[in-house]
Structure 1
Amino acid sequence: MRLRKTIFVALLSLSLLSGCVWLKKEEDIVTMSPLPQVNNHFRPTTVWRHAVGKGTGAFYSHLHPACYKAHVFAADRHGSVKALDAETGKKIWSTDLAIQKGFFSCKRAARLSGGLTAAGDRVYLGSELAKVYALDARNGRRVWETRVSGEVLSTPVVSDGVVLVHTGNGMLQALHETDGTVKWSVNLDLPPLKLRGDSAPTTAFGTVIVGGNNGLVRAVLINQGQLIWQKRIAKPRGITEIARINDVKSTPLLVNGVVYALAYQGYLAALDLISGQVIWSRDIGSVTNLLGDSGRIYLVDQNDHVIAVNSQDGRSLWQQSELMHRNLTSPVLHKGYIVTGDSEGYLHWINTDDGRFVAQKKVDRSGFLSDPIVAGDKLIVQAKNGQIYAISR
């Protein structure tokens, strides 16, 4: 199968134009790896499925569900939001965030994006229209709605009484959890060209760790919004502006006082949480999120190799290369195995010890772009067409 590999970048106006223009550049034409033949060690089973609107369709969106107190919360791009029972998939409530327009009650899509976050009996989500919503997790009632500085393509993060959002125009903002008012804003800068999407923050010990553009990782105090340190983990390489893109789009991973960060076309680096000093780094690039477990870091690189490295020194432990260019999701850990989805709608289970396949299942022909999540003993995944699946072993 032939596949056009594309990179989406934002071009900021440098002269008379204002705002941003999205460009699509065709890179090389690459070949998607054929589906590997797997002898299933167990049989993954679809326990339930439920449709949430029309999903994200052809739009590049990582809109994904959230789980809290045995409920699964999911949304589509247009504005439909639902709460489902995690055991049965039965609808508990639904609400519509589409914008009412005009005398004839025409609706404009809310353009929900990023992912949902469920915490403290509330559900938080953002939109490409620069809005953040807080819903009551018990009934879907809108608690507050706040306009932020730019489109919200990453997942909101709740910590220390604030909701943290990283906006598309390079701002990190903290909103009061109670009413959504802006507590502080930090400008993370914005280069002329950037990948579409933003790093979601990671929090610990009163500190926000967030990846930015130009290969930078920053630490900010949650209470004051004060910058503690910033460290560049990747430098531009290549001649063209597109070749020099090295944004940190992955959500930083924090384990035992060490921050692990990953840059596109750049490096995987381990940083000291207190000082930001680099402990080790190695040449691996990606935009997917990291997974940490038992002294190992698992990731999917930009060529869709699934890689395990030693968290102490970055040394490679194994690499699974049979899924190249299948546009894999970020990996998650489910019942002791790594799981990742691909653009053809397959889920792949991989052994954490040696990278071998242990199971495979075709789930939805529209394919996956958003990351799977774990809800109790089930794996929850949202397809591009809006179907939500609960998978059990």
Structure 2
Amino acid sequence: MRLRKTLLSGLVSVIFLSGCSLLNSEDEMAVLSPLPKVTNQFTPDKMWSVSVGSGVAGYYSRLHPTWQGSSIFAADRKGLVQAMEVNSGKQIWRVNLAEKTHFLGNDRSAMLSGGLTVADSHLYVGSEEARVYALNTSDGKLVWQSAVAGEVLSRPVVSDDLLLIHTSNGMLQALNRADGTIKWTLNLDMPLLSLRGESTPTVAMGAAIVGGDNGRVSAVMIEQGQLIWQQHISQITGATEIDRLSDVDMSPVVVEGIVYALAYNGNLTALDLRSGQILWQREMGSVDDFIVNMGRIYLVDQNDRIMALQSNGGVTVWNQSDLLHRNLTSPAMYNNYLVVGDSKGYLHWLNKEDGRFVAQQQVDSSGFLSTPLVVDNKLIIQSKNGTVYAFTGIPD
């Protein structure tokens, strides 16, 4: 039984796609924290903003921009894909994949999801209709489209001549990058009940490291599609179905032979890359991607606490809890700052050394879901209504 994850007043809630509910009217909704008062130490300058279709509208989606060289690539859920110049936002090309989805008919949305990936001369994107598309980065021409095992809710990942796809029904597939043919498929298993979202694989030492809806992290040999090891980082506990959710939906991070992973209602865990052996664990949960940098882990937990932890042992360095339940994006690192967006369209800048707020600005009333992107000393972020913004003027 598959669940849709929606963000309501900061609470990560789940709703059956069939219509039945896990929540009743007596359940208390989490209260959105009031906006903290911040004295801006600097004000980022908006270089440009460009509308790219209708965004993701009211859907929970990890669709987000990417970049290569001097080009930014962004898309909306309906199927519009656009390339823009990074310095000006000027359109380079625009295509509509809804018109290319012949098996659905031209009047249907392409239902793009999971984010864009660019490598060499190809741009890749998946869809909720179990399709993967490859476009030419120079002109947007469709190179190929391929049917896969299920909804593509995470970002495609390139490994040499293969494209790795993690589908919503727990399948990890490797596609030939040249023509989209499927080389292998591995069933990673999934529980009856899970959040709507999938882990993007991380490539390291010839293996794909990927989280699963069953609370496991798996290492898979990329060339053959063979399982190397699996490790539980979340044990099923709790009295309610929501308490028992244990999805590992974030992308594992690999640094110096250590895999860092985080589960919803689970643990932040460090594992040995070669064996999968647990090195240390700390109880906390999230579904968002995090940063490992210079001996620290920077993350947003499931209650929207922003935290810095030591990467050796998980000891808390600082904890910023003034943005609870504001539905924060995953963090990005820009010079000496962390930046997150929230559901009300604010960008929040924090000193990465101590977690103090250093700047705050409202950008877009539709709010943010996608992770900010740092490109050529610029901050790029796409709002839920599809507008892509570029900011500069952030001090070192």
TM-score (norm 2): 0.93
Matching residue of 2:14? 8
Aligned residue number for residue 14 of structure 1:
none
Map 1:160-171 onto structure 2 (within 5 A).
160-171=160-171
Q: Deviations over 1:324-346 (max 9, x none)?
A: 00000000111221111000000
Task: Confirm or deny that 1:254 pairs with 2:260.
Answer: no
SS in 2 for 1:109: coil
Change (3 A) 1:307 1:4: closer
Counterpart of 2:89 in structure 1 is 89
1:108 counterpart residue number: 108
Cα distance in structure 2, aligned partners of 1:189 and 1:22: 24
**Rounded Cα–Cα distance in structure 2 between residues aligned with 1:226 and 1:6:** 34
How many angstroms apart in 1 are the aligned matches of 2:241 and 2:282? 23
Alpha-carbon spacing, 1:285–1:22, altered in 2? closer, same or farther (3 Å): farther
Extract unaligned runs of 5+ from structure 1.
11-19
Describe the superposition over 1:295-346 as per-residue Cα deviations: whole angstroms up to 9, x where unpaired.
0001000000001110011111000000000000000111221111000000
Distance 2:78 2:238 in 1: 39
Aligned partner of 2:365 in structure 1 is 365
Residue aligning to 1:217: 217
What CA RMSD, in Å, does the superposition of the two structures yield over aligned residues? 1.6
Deviation at 1:41, TM superposition (A): 1.3
Q: Is the 8 A contact 1:129 1:151 kept in 2?
A: yes
* CA distance, structure 2, for counterparts of residue 290 and residue 21 of structure 1: 32
Tell me the distance in 2 between the aligned counterparts of 1:248 and 1:24: 22
Q: Any gaps of 5 or more consecutive residues in structure 2?
A: 1-7
**Which residue identity is paired with 1:98?**
A
Residue-by-residue CA offset, 1:43-74 (whole Å, 9 max, x unaligned): 11111000000101011111100011111000
Q: Does the 8 Å contact 1:79/1:109 carry over to 2? A: yes
Q: How does 1:1-393 map to 2 (within 5 A)?
A: 3=9, 5-8=11-14, 21=18, 25-26=22-23, 28-99=28-99, 106-393=106-393
Instruction: Please tell me whether the aligned partners of residues 164 and 175 of structure 2 are also in contact (alpha carbons under 8 angstroms).
Output: yes
Q: 1: distance between equivalents of 2:341 and 2:43? A: 16
Change in Cα spacing, 1:8 to 1:321, as seen in structure 2 (3 Å) is same
1:101 offset after TM fit, Å? 8.5
- Pair 1:81–1:370, CA change in 2 (3 A): same
Aligned partner letter, 1:7: S
Distance 1:250 1:185, change over 3 A: same
SS in 2 for 1:98: helix
Distance verdict in 2 for CA 1:155–1:101, change over 3 Å: closer
**Which amino acid counterpart does residue 3 of structure 1 have in structure 2?**
S
Deviations, residues 127-147 of structure 1 (Å, cap 9, x unaligned): 000000010001000011010
Runs of 4+ in structure 1 deviating by more than 6 angstroms, as ranges, are: none
Deviation of 1:213 (Å): 1.5
**Contact 1:262/1:285 (<8 A) preserved:** yes
TM-score (norm 1): 0.94
* Alpha-carbon separation, structure 2, partners of 1:264 and 1:245: 7
**Letter of the structure 2 residue corresponding to residue 182 of structure 1:** I
**Which residue in 1 is equivalent to 2:3?**
none
